[in-house]
Structure 1
Amino acid sequence: MSYLESAESQLAEIELLSSMFPTHDEFEITDQLALAELRGYIEGSTETPPPSRPQFLIKQKVDAASMKGVDFTLSCTYPSGYPNILPEITVRCTYLSRTQQSELHADLNAYLMENCQGEVCVLSAVERAKDSLHLYIDKTSSAEPASKNESSAQKPSEIFSRVWIYSHHIYNKIKRKNILEWSKELGLSGFSMPGKPGIVCVEGPQTACEEFWSRVKVLTWKKIMIRHREDIPLNNQATDSGADESMDSLRKFTGFEEAMFDPHGSRGNHMDLGQLYKFLHEKGCCDVFQIYFGIEGK
């Protein structure tokens, strides 16, 4: 699909969405300039592909009867290659914890990748979110936000997270530099493996892992997703120093590094997966190899 054909598909989907969600309370273009540039490029007023990327919000309510009155916002940004590349979609709901939101995003990306690759997919994403959002909301709660008194009285447990990210490839030197610098800035340990495929593991405080993922995912990727994650609550009765000790005791990596495993291939972009498995085995997390590649390592 040429860039012009991609642009035409993007504009057609935006026009369809605006007709299906006609009110500002349902559908909102958050970057009108990007939309104008996209339309101008399609109509031939400029020969240069627009630099900006269309962004919009879709606001809906959850379909499940038990979640009556619960609404959510789906934020979407088109990458330049959409629909050949999946859009950047974020679902926000006040009833979701960070962990639940991450799980929902992982499920949504996997669903779109399996069912909508190469096709416009925002409507499918909306319907998937409406159908499944209630599954991620804690059933033990009353499905209503805690009062200010309750929220101030309860100090949430700190959570240790280990997030395993999969990318179709990691070649770009700037992205590789960002990954190294951001992990250091946020106090995360782990590793990144450049090449095809690209793998990144970060571990540390959940808030720091979430911040790292929020920065990485908005870069331009052919495909990127959270393949697996581990979230371990820490004892909230511990002192601050005790919490830090518990956090560090859960780490499987010391610091953060870019790991290369005998790069080969015509461009030197393929790694020896046997060496990767050995590396993971030494770190005590070799089970993730099967999650990534669908086979047991050796």
Structure 2
Amino acid sequence: MEQQRENEEDEEDTDDPRIAELILIKSMYPELRLQCLDDQLQRAIDEQNFHYHHFDDVSSITVLFNVDESLECRLTMSVDYPSLDSNCLQIFCHIISNKNQQKQLNERVENELIERNSLIQVVPKIIELWNEMKSSFSSDSKSKSNNVNIEKQSDSHSNQIDRYWIYSHHIYSKIKRKSIIDLCRHQYHLNGFMLIGKPGLICIEGPGDDCQKFWQTIRSWNWQRITMIDIEENLNNSQHSQSNQSTTTTFESFVEYIDRSAVFQMLAAKNSDKIIKNYLGI
């Protein structure tokens, strides 16, 4: 009996505090639609298994959650948790087009992370900050849209080359795959790739307007989870500012992949694998 009690105490001592906090956050804020990139870990959280041990004790845990339809968050919890640093949280807002506003939001969130050292403390503060700031962002965005609508349609914006990195929980549907290919190859002028399976990855590259329309279109479809990983803007200026030659892109066409390793090899060869590796914690 005493031995059993000691074993139970040892088990409690080795419980991962990250699991406990994720379970609590999911129960406290179900509207966030919290999801882990690791399916086994997600199942443990759904089942409220406080004694679940992550398959790799030295790896980080990455979770996604939505404060609302406008704000997506990605949080990486390292093995040093509850220690949090300013780089562990990435946010993407669909109603902010102004880089200064995005920077302002990021800075405020980073300050909150520095002051707090646990997810239970950080999440409610992010919700509070966003509720406080989103009305001003939304009104500024609408005002800007009305004032520069003609400018956005100008040739200079159309010639801007952007690159969007998109993550999906999975991509299996033949209908979605065909629609994505048709959008890229026929409706818009977009190159890149799509990795089908679980998880699913999409990278598009082309005119800024086309990238934006593509994202707005597929985001409206029914997905278990789809989120923007990163946006690289104005690639033609950043890569070719010293040249008057026509813009070249990283991808020559839009290609569908089944083999994940082939995607990483292709991206490594093009020196473009950093964003995906950072996102997946590789």
Q: TM-score, normalised by structure 1?
A: 0.45
